Amino acid sequence: MEPTSPAIPAPPGPPPAPAPPRKSATLFFLTLVLLFLPGLVAQSLSRAGGIAWSELFVFFLPPVIFAAGSNLRPVALLGLGRPRARELALAALVGVAAFLVANGVMALWSRLLPARVLRLFDVARVFDAPLGERIAIAVVASVLAPVCEETAFRGYLQRTIALRRSPAVAIAISALLFGVLHDPVRFPAVAVLGAVFGWLAWRSGSTWTAIMAHAVNNGLASGFVLAEGVPRGPEAEPPLRAVLFTLGFGALALSALMSAYRVATTPPPATAAVVLVDPGEPSTRFSPARVPDRLWAAAAIGIALLLAMLLAARLGRAS
């Protein structure tokens, strides 16, 4: 019987890769919902100013605070690094096609809703204002709103969900929640737009592509309202044939442009957005102590501005 040789231990392999951070998208969305009420208050006090306040302090500042307080670099996590020009150009064209599709979807959906619901959630009332204020509202809706809303939904929400779930699930959830924070009349159209914007951001790894498509969509909508006014009443409802043509043409254009965009982009891994502020501290649990003082100062400025709007409105009623 031959003697057995001692077992030779296997060489040590590379250390296991650290698990990706598991951020709570639910907590973030609940924060947006809680902040939505002061946003509505601000908009009731000043149309253009209130909308701008909502965009900055409800949708833009919270994701930056959540990222910084989680030991993560906000620019990387929120996808706000330098974008590529070709992707932005294609995203702008996608925004035009998505505008046609969303308008077709909204026109069909509006035919199914009771008239009282359409009157209650008539977003066009926002533009019932003097010309100067209408222009200010259009600028805020076309420039500021896309940056802030996409930072929240495609920047923080979709990217944190993608750390746990598939890209399709992350895009779908962020799109549905994006629609939920609008109104029942616009919900289907906004959810469709959110899915398109989310797909653009995922394929490119940059939130700026979603911002570009969103800005084009809002710019077209605002431009039509400024140029032609806001049609109302049954006579303003477009013929069904025109709605279906718009929807079909937009869907074909959107499909072709998204195919070109797919060829031009390669999705980065979800973990590419995870860049620690302090690599020596691997924890990504949110802590208020990690949030830089300048961000808390920005939040305090937001509160002060809201109080100032409340005071100005009260003094205006008293005079």
Query: Phi and psi (nearest 5°) for 201?
Result: -65, -40
Amino acid 16: pLDDT: 47
Which DSSP string corresponds to 7-49? PPPPPP-PPPPPPPP---HHHHHHHHHHHHHHHHHHHHH-HHH
Chain centre to alpha carbon of residue 2: 72
What is the pLDDT averaged over residues 100-123? 92
Cα separation of 25 and 9, whole Å? Answer: 44
Amino acid 7: pLDDT: 53
Residue 92 structure tokens: 């702008």
Amino acid 25: pLDDT: 85
Amino acid 229: pLDDT: 65
Residue 58, burial from CB neighbour count under 10 angstroms (0-12, 13-18, 19+): buried
Q: 9: which residues sit within 8 A by CB, 6+ positions away? A: none
pLDDT tens string 243-262: 999 999 999 999 999 999 99
Cα separation of 180 and 42, whole Å? Answer: 20
Q: Model's pTM, two decimal places?
A: 0.90
Amino acid 8: pLDDT: 57
Q: How confident is the model at residue 17 (pLDDT cuts 50, 70, 90)?
A: very low
pLDDT tens string 1-15: 555 555 555 555 554
pLDDT tens string 65-94: 999 999 999 999 999 999 999 999 999 999
What residues are paired with 62 via a beta bridge? none
